[in-house]
């Protein structure tokens, strides 16, 4: 590629000595991008925008925040009440975390569906998983900072998970706490790390983009670009497409910030942390719920922690678990179904993480009821005594199909969900790689568009969907 000639002499002078402008021209302007990217490909740049929003708002919030157990809660309220535009900064930041996770989840599932993790993009995918892990750690630490009830008890529960590690677990927890309980030193270290990690994420994002630009974006057809006829320069085509997507996304973001700023959070966090009073339900933020459900679905603490960790670590190995040569789910008739079940499974797990494990979900009346209420309903419907109903309900997967009462114990539902989650990666994908017969993949990105049906190699591809 020829180096660009800059008209501005100052730019030319600088670029000759420090080729930043050539570099930008190469990577952000002429960078060849597949011409068939759909709107699911907007979420990568949206995640980048959210990272910047979080760093900028967070930086300004940190100028007003006091990381001390006696002042943290009130300093946040001071930001809300007395700092000019403080309420806006804080609501942008706290809802921004949820928006960031929504965007990243869509980005991850896009990668899962279109096989963006497959060769030669394995490292790109793994760096992405690392970014996601860093985000989870950062968001958790940030949630502790306002020092509300859920901040404190969330911190207690999560840090306590490390005590499950044999031999050195307790030492690690003491180190995390900086003492023998969640106290001021804990808050201090979480604040410092919450400030540091976003910049680590930023670095990881740069590496993610370098890896991306090595082979370029995957695309909805999942086939390699064959030449200039398959690509478009990044600017203005994708800069403008991303701009439109950004506008739509910001409208969504604005709705939460301006009209439902506290809807995604827990009301209990507007009460000052009180180590002597445990909230009725300790529930993490929505974006952790599926993992919380996996943790709770295993009765043993250590095994639960391992399962939760494994549910993310497994993503690192995904490129070698799915060995199907076809990237895009569009051409994988069986894979497609399992993929959508996985999406649904994650929603179910989220819902299981939200509720008490011993509660019952009654799918026909769309209710969640506690065990007592459920037993009482069974007794009433069957016309039997309470004790008898207790035996009838039992613990056998928590299902009771007595007329009019059908309930699934939340923890059992979570176990089924966990089972499918792991089966998807460890059983379904490896088996599909062997047994699935993918549809014929088009020869190139430009051909099906230019030549209609004839350009596709086989007649079977007639049923192929136009991506």
Partner 1 sequence: MSKGRILLGLTTIIVGLAAVAMVAANPVHHATVHSQSWSFTGFFGHFDHAQLRRGHQVYKDVCAGCHSMSLLAYRDLQDIGFTEDEVQALAAEVQVEDGPDDTGAMFERPGRASDRFKEPFPNEQAARAANNGAYPPDLSLIAKSRAGAGFLGYEGADYIHSLMVGYEEPPANVTLPEGMYYNHAFKGHQIAMPPPLSEDGVTYADGTQATLDQQAKDISAFLTWAAEGNLDERHRTGIKAVLFLVIFTLLAYAVKRRVWADVH
Rule CB under 8 A: say whether 200 interacts with partner 1. Answer: no
Give strand pairing partners of 231.
34
217 is catalytic: yes
d(CA 331, CA 460): 11
The pair of three-digit structure tokens given for residue 459, joined into one six-digit string? 């007649």
Site string for partner 1, 280-319 (x = CB under 8 A): ------x---------------------------------
Of 23, 215, 258, 397, the residue at the interface with partner 1 (CB under 8 A) is: 258
Q: Shortest Cβ distance from residue 231 to partner 1 (Å)?
A: 11
Residue 465 in the binding site for partner 1 (CB under 8 A): yes
Q: Which stretch binds partner 1 (CB under 8 A): 21-29, 72-80, 109-117, 308-316?
A: 72-80
Q: Does 248 bind partner 1 (CB under 8 A)?
A: yes
Kindly tell me the sign of the dihedral angle through the C-alpha atoms of 27, 29, 32, 33. Answer: positive
Residue 241 appears among annotated catalytic residues: yes
Q: Is the dihedral of CA 143, 144, 149, 153 positive or negative?
A: positive
What is the rounded distance in angstroms from the CA atom of residue 213 to the CA atom of residue 27? 8
In this chain, which stretch among 8-16, 46-54, 76-84, 198-206 interacts with partner 1, using CB under 8 A? 76-84
Q: CA 213 to CA 196: how far, in whole Å?
A: 26
- CB-count exposure of residue 207 (10 Å: 0-12, 13-18, 19+): middle
Torsion of CA 246, 125, 133, 208, to 10 degrees: -60
Closest CA to 43 of 350, 257, 342, 249: 249
Q: Which stretch binds partner 1 (CB under 8 A): 19-27, 120-128, 300-308, 345-353?
A: 345-353
Q: Where are the beta strands (DSSP E) in 277-366?
A: 360-362
Active site residue 285: yes
Residue 84 neighbours by CB distance under 10 Å: 7
Q: Give the per-residue contact string, 23-62, with partner 1 (x = CB under 8 A; - = no).
A: ------------x---------------------------
Residue 388 among the catalytic residues: no
Chain positions contacting partner 1, by CB under 8 A: 35, 74, 77, 80-81, 87-88, 91, 232, 236-237, 240-241, 243-244, 246-248, 250-251, 254, 257-264, 266-271, 286, 336, 340, 343-344, 347-348, 350-351, 354-356, 359, 361, 366, 368-370, 373, 449, 463, 465-466
User: Active-site residue numbers?
Assistant: 213, 217, 241-242, 285
């Amino acid at each position: 590629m020829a180096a660009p000639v800059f008209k501005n002499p100052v730019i030319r002078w600088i670029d000759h000595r420090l080729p930043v402008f050539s570099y930008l021209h190469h990577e952000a302007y002429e960078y060849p991008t597949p011409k068939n990217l759909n709107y699911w490909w907007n979420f990568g740049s949206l995640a980048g925008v959210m990272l910047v929003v979080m760093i900028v708002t967070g930086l300004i919030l940190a100028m007003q925040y006091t990381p001390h157990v006696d002042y943290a809660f009130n300093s946040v309220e001071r930001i809300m009440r007395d700092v000019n535009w403080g309420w806006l900064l804080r609501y942008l930041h706290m809802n921004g975390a949820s928006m960031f996770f929504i965007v990243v989840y869509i980005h991850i599932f896009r990668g899962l569906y279109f096989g963006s993790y497959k060769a030669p993009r394995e490292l790109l995918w793994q760096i992405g998983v690392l970014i996601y892990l860093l985000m989870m750690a950062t968001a958790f630490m940030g949630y502790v900072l306002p020092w509300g009830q859920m901040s404190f008890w969330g911190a207690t529960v999560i840090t306590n998970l490390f005590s499950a590690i044999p031999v050195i677990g307790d030492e690690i927890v003491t180190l995390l706490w900086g003492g023998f309980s969640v106290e001021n030193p804990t808050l201090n270290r979480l604040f410092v790390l919450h400030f540091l990690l976003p910049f680590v994420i930023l670095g990881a994002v740069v590496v993610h983009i370098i890896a991306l630009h090595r082979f370029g974006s995957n695309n909805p057809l999942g086939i390699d670009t064959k030449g200039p006829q398959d690509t478009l320069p990044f600017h203005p085509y994708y800069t403008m497409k991303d701009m439109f997507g950004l506008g739509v996304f910001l409208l969504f973001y604005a709705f939460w910030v301006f009209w439902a700023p506290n809807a995604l959070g827990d009301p209990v966090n507007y009460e000052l942390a009180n180590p002597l009073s445990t909230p009725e339900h300790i529930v993490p933020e929505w974006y952790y719920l599926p993992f919380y459900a996996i943790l709770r679905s295993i009765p043993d603490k250590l095994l639960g922690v391992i399962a939760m960790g494994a549910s993310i670590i497994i993503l690192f190995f995904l490129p070698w678990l799915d060995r199907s040569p076809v990237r895009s789910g569009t051409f994988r008739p069986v894979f497609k179904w399992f993929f959508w079940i996985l999406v649904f499974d994650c929603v179910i797990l989220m819902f299981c993480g939200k509720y008490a494990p011993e509660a019952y979900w009654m799918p026909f009346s769309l209710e969640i009821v506690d065990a007592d209420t459920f037993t009482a309903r069974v007794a009433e419907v069957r016309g039997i005594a309470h004790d008898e109903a207790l035996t009838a309900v039992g613990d056998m997967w928590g299902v009771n199909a007595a007329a009019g009462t059908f309930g699934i114990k939340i923890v059992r539902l979570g176990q089924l969900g966990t089972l499918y989650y792991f089966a998807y990666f460890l059983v379904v994908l490896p088996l599909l790689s062997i047994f699935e017969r993918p549809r014929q993949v088009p020869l190139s990105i430009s051909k099906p568009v230019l030549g209609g049906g004839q350009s596709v190699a086989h007649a079977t591809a007639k049923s192929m969907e136009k991506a």
